Amino acid sequence: MSKADNSAVSFCTLPFTHLNTNATGDVRVCCYVERPIGNFHDSDFDSIWHSEFASELRESIFDQTFRFCNKEFCSIAAKGDPNALEDAASKQEIESLRDRYSGRPRPELLSLQHDDSCNLSCPQCRSGLIYADAERQQTLKDIQDEWLKSPIFRSAQRILLSGNGDPFASRVYSDFLHKIKKADFPDLEITILTNGLLLNQARWDSLANAHYAIRHILISVDAASAETYSKVRRGGDFAKLIENLEFVSQLRKSQAIESFAIKFVTSAENFMEMPDFVRLAKRLGCDRVKFQLIVRFNHLSVAEYSAVAIQHPKHPRHSELLAVLKDPILQDDIVKLVNFHSVGEENFSFVEDYEAVMASNNIEVADVDKKENAIDRILYRFLGLVRRVGRRLPTAVKTPLKQVFKRVLTAA
């Protein structure tokens, strides 16, 4: 996905191979591209894949501007340089890539993140527990049933479940997994991304129909000790997690799955445990341990984000992070550092007196987050009603109606 060491060209395959869904219905090619290429409530996946913005986004990769990408968190986009195309060899390389990737009729990988239901309320991700109510669950299940019949799903090579919420806390995702059949998807590979607390022997056994497809398991942990885990994984049980990690380790050793990895979102709360986390991964026999710098979600104010964004040079513990990164164990072959290229860069508005600011705005931030969740729930009720009575509004009517709903509710 990144550029070769001897090449001046930086290239990302995601706009040509991936689709990501989210809880509002928006469809993206990557979490580092804020603007969606469409919305699955308004259009089918084929139309979204071939949308005007999808084409513009792909062209921004070829012209090396990466103008729609978040260069703070994506190292590939950060390396993009339009001036590189002045070189004949680089221009030829881009044309070769254009021939290889342009015009692909459908994506290879679908990242399903449309249900944010989760058994945890991790501070970096959300302000409280989120579970889809019965109406929203039914709406999403109806949508999934349509997806399973669609060409874009039937031709997908890989599915990631899920980058939002937890696949075992979500009844929507559980319904999806129970409907996967080898006769319909003979070559499908599924990657499970989970917090691991609900993935035990009984749950695994209940998914026997999908065992053939579940090839990779990635577990988000974010800590190497019970004390730190209780801070960064609100509502979690570290002893239960370790027990389930040992179970997944046995799945890997028995070759029931092809890979097992654990993930660590790095912040001021846990960065000191990075070396111990690698040791934990090696003890479990993990194929990969993935470190990723914390990014700001909408529920976090700038002050709250500044308190945990250890990568910023103005953070009071930034020098300690730099020291930890020099630990030789982080050079192990199983370690992957994601978006660490931005360590030490002043690429967002850091609030130095964040404790004082947070004391004055925490209630306001929480209230905004609750209002946005309420808006989404009402929109889903409306869309669910439309689907259940068997009438599909045309996009020309539904899109402006949704926008009016959202404006009215936001102003309320």
DSSP per residue over 261-323, as a string?
EEEEEE-TTTGGGHHHHHHHHHHHT-SEEEEEE----TTS-HHHHHHH-TTSTTSTTHHHHHH
pLDDT bracket for residue 235 (50, 70, 90): very high
Give the closest residue to 312 by CA, choosing from 332, 330, 294.
Answer: 294
The residue ranking higher by pLDDT, 402 or 160, is 160
pLDDT value at residue 347? 75
Asked if residues 352 and 314 have their Cβ atoms less than 8 Å apart, the reply is yes
Average pLDDT, the chain: 87
* pLDDT > 70 fraction of the chain, expressed in percent and rounded: 84
Region 208-226: mean pLDDT is: 98
Is the confidence at residue 408, as pLDDT, over 60? no
Asked if residues 32 and 70 have their Cβ atoms less than 8 Å apart, the reply is yes
Is the confidence at residue 364, as pLDDT, over 80? no
pLDDT value at residue 4? 44
54-113 tens-digit pLDDT: 999 999 999 999 999 988 888 899 899 999 899 999 999 999 999 999 988 999 999 999
Asked if residues 197 and 173 have their Cβ atoms less than 8 Å apart, the reply is no
Q: Is 36 exposed, middle or buried (0-12, 13-18, 19+ CB in 10 A)?
A: buried
Task: Please give the Cα distance from 220 to 289 (Å, whole number).
Answer: 10
Task: Please give the Cα distance from 196 to 356 (Å, whole number).
Answer: 36
Extract the tokens encoding 395: 């996009």
Region 162-191: mean pLDDT is: 94
Cβ atoms within 10 Å of 342's Cβ, excluding its own: 21
Task: Please give the Cα distance from 115 to 165 (Å, whole number).
Answer: 6
> 192 forms bridges with which residues in the sheet?
161, 217
> How far lies 224's CA from each of 24, 221, 271, 280, 346, in Å?
33, 8, 10, 7, 29
Is the confidence at residue 400, as pLDDT, over 80? no
pLDDT bracket for residue 247 (50, 70, 90): very high
pLDDT value at residue 175? 95
Geometric angle at alpha carbon 78, from 72 and 83, rounded to 5°: 145
pLDDT bracket for residue 166 (50, 70, 90): very high
Region 222-244: mean pLDDT is: 96
pLDDT value at residue 72? 81
Give the closest residue to 94 by CA, choosing from 80, 73, 109.
Answer: 80
What is the three-state SS of 336-361? EEECHHHCCCCCCCCCCCHHHHHHHH
Element (H, E) at 192: strand 189-194
The residue ranking higher by pLDDT, 158 or 299, is 158
Task: Please give the Cα distance from 114 to 380 (Å, whole number).
Answer: 12
Is the confidence at residue 266, as pLDDT, over 60? yes
CA 18 to the chain's CA centroid: 12
Region 324-343: mean pLDDT is: 94
Task: Please give the Cα distance from 173 to 165 (Å, whole number).
Answer: 10
pLDDT bracket for residue 362 (50, 70, 90): very low
pLDDT bracket for residue 366 (50, 70, 90): very low
pLDDT value at residue 374? 53
Is the confidence at residue 160, as pLDDT, over 80? yes
DSSP string, 355-399: HHHHHHHHHHHHHHHHHHHHHHHHHHHHHHHHHHTT----HHHHH
pLDDT bracket for residue 29 (50, 70, 90): very high
Task: Please give the Cα distance from 99 to 117 (Å, whole number).
Answer: 40
Structure pTM? 0.84
Task: Please give the Cα distance from 107 to 127 (Å, whole number).
Answer: 33
Residues 6+ apart with CB under 8 A from 315: 268, 306, 309, 321, 350
Extract the tokens encoding 249: 């380790």
* pLDDT > 90 fraction of the chain, expressed in percent and rounded: 66
